[in-house]
Amino acid sequence: MLFTSISFLYYFLPIVLIIYFIMPNKYRNFILFISSMFFYFYGEPKYIILMLLEIFIAYIGAIIIDKTKNKTIFIFTILIHVLLLCFFKYTDFLITNINSIFKTNINLLRISLPIGISFYTFQIISYVVDVYRGKVSVQKSFIRLATYVSLFPQLIAGPIVRYETIEEELKTRSHNFENFAEGARRFTIGLAKKVLIANILGELCTNFDSSSKSIIFYWLFSISYMLQIYFDFSAYSDMAIGLGRIFGFHFLENFNYPYISKSITEFWRRWHISLSSWFKDYVYIPLGGNRVGKIKLLRNILIVWLLTGFWHGASWNFIVWGLMFGIILIIEKLWFNKYLEKLPNILKRIYVLFIVMISFIIFRADNLSEAFKIINGLFGFNKDVFINEITIYNLKNYFVVILIAILAATPILKNLIIKLKKNKKANYLINLLEPFYIVFLLIIVTAYLIDNSYNPFLYFRF
């Protein structure tokens, strides 16, 4: 069930909200758990048992680990979850490569990927690790732990919520009009970003395969996809954070205007923050972080980014994508930063945007040869014409939404509103008009959803 579906917006969510808020506090985690189970069952019925099994293993394992501090049980518990993720996500990739290397003919298992398994597995692992480290208290209520892992606002595509972030809120949390209003506002803005920007840019990107190619169209496609994936994923995070707030949870931010970054290092502090911080705390630092010699530092960075790429998907393009960022981060860290700092800010940002654009071409492609063909097309190496009628048509049709997307990908509008709110009259007017603005956005989004069938979520495949 998509957040951007009529069934979610006008059936599932209102029913859950009504039941949730009429029930006493002590039953609200149970209501969220049952709602989350239904939400997951609606989209992936055959794998609901798998998720419940993983929650149960984490629940029992963490209790035993807390009592015994037994390292073997800790490793065994973590290993079960890692192996289950690898089995469902990477088995066919492994078989394909074995067949290719050794010229064998092993049949693929063709296992369908459980939705959200990469996200909820990482949440489970962080919980078990933090219990072992003594960073959080073990959760002795199965319903509370199951609510944390399966919480439908962020179950399918994150952000990756650490148990420590909502540990206290699972026991007791505040429900008031301020939280509800802020959550509804954040959810609606995310919904609009997804439907009115990401989806429209996605329509342009899907036209790429069937359009007559030109050099300008390669650039138009690449820039549009870079914007689409940002608005697609950040919109889902906005909606998840907003829904969490409605139910009394405060999830951490997952994006912070990454396209204004002046280095790739800064970009990854602003993009998919929950994932990069997860790898930092549970892989990079345990390996020694940057407190080791230069050779081990290089090893640690490459391991983290190899795993980051592999986490995104069972394909060589994801591995290359991850290693590409690892190598660039090494270059920046060891050699390039001292030169990068001397450049004007505009050149730093162009450098980041170009690298990120190339990286997302690799990220999107079905294989590396397709990615290199698109990259070659950017520079005219495919011998395409510079521009053609189809490109001009697409430029005319999508110019306004691309312009809006570029503006919305910066904090310009946010900073302007903050500045205006410092004036009492402007602040009063903004607060007065905001509910009408939110309702208007919801009406426009609803009309678009009824009228259009193109409505994917890019990160659902992870």
In sequence order, which ranges of 291-423 are alpha helices (DSSP H)?
294-312, 316-331, 337-340, 345-364, 368-378, 389-408, 412-421
Q: Which residues contact 395 (CB under 8 A, 6 or more apart)?
A: 216, 220
Distance CA 398, CA 94 (A): 41
CA distances for 239 relative to 114, 188, 442, 458, angstroms: 21, 7, 13, 15
Distance CA 117, CA 115 (A): 6
Query: Tokens for 32?
Result: 């969220």
E strand segments, 222-280: none
CA distances for 392 relative to 11, 277, 357, 373, 398, angstroms: 42, 42, 21, 22, 10
CB count within 10 Å of CB 152 equals 26
Query: Tokens for 155?
Result: 């179950």
The answer to whether 81 is a known catalytic residue is no
- Report yes or no: 115 and 40 within 8 Å, Cβ to Cβ: yes
| One-letter identity of residue 68 | T
Per-residue buried b or exposed e for 357-377, using 16+ beta carbons within 10 Å of the residue's own CB:
bbbbbbbbbeeeeebebbbeb
CB count within 10 Å of CB 345 equals 9
Q: Which residues contact 270 (CB under 8 A, 6 or more apart)?
A: 255, 256, 257, 258, 260, 261
Query: Tokens for 6?
Result: 């009529």
The DSSP 8-state label assigned to residue 25 in this structure reads G
Residue 214 three-state SS:
strand
Torsion (CA) 415, 421, 423, 425 in degrees, nearest 10: 140
- Which residues are annotated as catalytic? 312
